Structure 1
Amino acid sequence: MSEQQIRELMAAREAAMTARDAATLGSHYAPDVVAFTLAPPLVHRGAEVIDVEARKAWFETFEGPIEYSTQDLEVTVGGDLAWCHALNRLSTTPKGAPAGFELWFRSTVCFKRVAGEWQITHAHDSVPFYMDATLRAAVDLKP
């Protein structure tokens, strides 16, 4: 049952991103969450991650739909701790940009069960980079 609950939470996060539902996204995090997101700075903590108004403001930086999906989700549960990893796809158009973008990135999410409810305690998103002289983020990769 626990693995199914984690899968349902991940599906709810996917739906909330597409629906621009900042409140649902914020509700999944533990108060002391640590997140390594694609956007600077290197680390986000607690209230900064959960901040519904900040997430709403971020959603407003995009025009049109936000497409967000998860692929190859793998879930591991051990007692009151769980983690999962997947490949995620984000596609949207920044306001004022001449065109949209599609980005595939890696994601690992860690959970802790508190009072019977699963909460996200850590999230880590990343893209690989080309290890040549350019050090460019490899945002052109697709599974």
Structure 2
Amino acid sequence: MPRRHEADEATIRQQVNEIVEGLRNKDLEGLRRLYTADVVSFDVEPPLQHVGVDAKLTNWAAVFAIFDTVSYEVRDLTLTVGDDVAFGHGFGRLSGTLRDGTATNGMWVRVTFCFEKIDGRWLIAHDQVSVPFDVRSGKGIVDLQP
């Protein structure tokens, strides 16, 4: 069985690469195919949770409206894979050029992905993005590097 899990891990890593490519290409429909219909996302933007693939894609559409070119990088992705569920964590950074021509290096965030195997396909059922914060000020700390 470990060989099956190794193959599933490779498939999931490829799916994360598809997220990266989908963001770079601003391909909302390509991204839609990577999530469950009822995905729950705890993204950095309000509200506290986004429920359903349309809500998740609305967040990405907002990013695409602000950015002329988009780059996304995932670093240090660690995965744990079971038969029908898997989870992973790492760091992500959204960067690129804004519509006004301003280049931005973005910021590193912490990312968690939870996958569910549905009809033989690994889909994202939950994701979470967060930044650490300073307890005293209540402000996020966005200049940390992995």
TM-score (norm 2): 0.86
Distance 1:85 1:104 in 2: 13
Q: 1:46 aligns with which of 52, 63, 70?
A: 52
Residue 115 and residue 122 in structure 1: after superposition, are their counterparts in 2 closer, same or farther (change >3 A)? same
Percent identity between the two aligned chains? 35
Following TM superposition, by how much is the alpha carbon of 1:55 offset from its aligned partner in structure 2, in angstroms? 3.5
1:59 maps onto 2:42 in alignment? no
Letter in 2 for 1:82: A
Runs of 4+ in 1 over 6 A off after TM superposition: none
- Contact preservation (8 Å) 2:70, 2:96: yes
How many residues are treated as equivalent by the alignment? 140
Following TM superposition, by how much is the alpha carbon of 1:98 offset from its aligned partner in structure 2, in angstroms? 5.8
Following TM superposition, by how much is the alpha carbon of 1:25 offset from its aligned partner in structure 2, in angstroms? 1.1
- Contact preservation (8 Å) 2:32, 2:53: no
1:106 matched residue in structure 2: 110
Q: Give the gaps of 5 or more residues in structure 1.
A: none
Q: 1:2 aligns with which of 1, 8, 32?
A: 8
- Give the superposed CA RMSD: 1.9
**Residues 66-119 of structure 1, C-alpha deviations (whole Å, 9 max, x = no match):** 121000011110111011111011113444586634210000000111111111
1:139 matched residue in structure 2: 142
- Contact preservation (8 Å) 1:26, 1:49: no
The correspondence of residues 5-20 of structure 1 with structure 2, limited to 5 A, is 5-20=11-26
